[in-house]
Amino acid sequence: MTETDTVFGKIARGELEADLVYQDDEIVAFRDLNPQAPVHILIIPRQPIATLNDVSVADATLLGRLLQVAAQLAKQEGIAEQGYRTVINCNAQAGQTVYHLHVHLLGGRALQWPPG
C-alpha cells in the first residue's frame, strides 16, 4: 500500500464503508472498527498525509481543525465534561498501523496514564 492507498484513503474517497460521524471538504470522522473505549472515533484529513512527521507549516490550519472537530465530536458524544483523550500515533514504535494521519478520540471510561 502506498500512502495514497490506505484503508483510510479509501474511506475518505468514499470507496470503503465506515460508520461516519462527521465529514466536510477537508475532514472525515468515523468510528474505530476495534474500539478501545465506549467512544473511539478516528478523525482524518481527506488529504493523504502519512504521519505527523510529514506535516509542514502549510498544514497548520488543517491540524488545528482536526482537533477542533475532535472537541466538537466529544461534545456531541456526551463525553466533553467527564473528559476524553486525543492521540496521534506516529510510526511503528508508537503503534501506528495505518499510514494516513489520524487523531484518535477516546472516552466514555477512565483512561490510564501513562499509556502503555
State yes or no: residue 21 binds ligand AMP (CB under 6 A). Answer: no
CB atoms within 10 A of CB 5: 14
**d(Cα 97, Cα 108) in Å, to the nearest integer?**
24
Q: Shortest distance, CB of residue 63 to ligand AMP, whole angstroms?
A: 16
User: Is 38 among the residues that bind ligand AMP (CB under 6 A)?
Assistant: no
33 binds ligand AMP (CB under 6 A): yes
Question: Judged by CB under 6 A, does residue 97 bind ligand AMP?
Answer: yes
User: Around Cβ 4, how many Cβ atoms within 10 Å?
Assistant: 12
What are the two backbone dihedrals, phi and then psi, of residue 69, each rounded to the nearest 5 degrees? -65, -40
* Catalytic residue status for 100: no
| 96 binding ligand AMP? (CB under 6 A) | yes
Sign of the torsion angle spanned by Cα atoms 89, 90, 95, 98: positive
Stretch that binds ligand AMP, among 20-28, 52-60, 69-77, 95-103 (CB under 6 A): 95-103
Please report how many Cα atoms fall inside a 13 Å half-sphere around the Cα of residue 105, on the Cβ side. Answer: 27
Catalytic residue annotation: 102
Q: Return residues touching ligand AMP (CB under 6 A).
A: 7, 18, 30, 32-34, 42, 89, 95-98
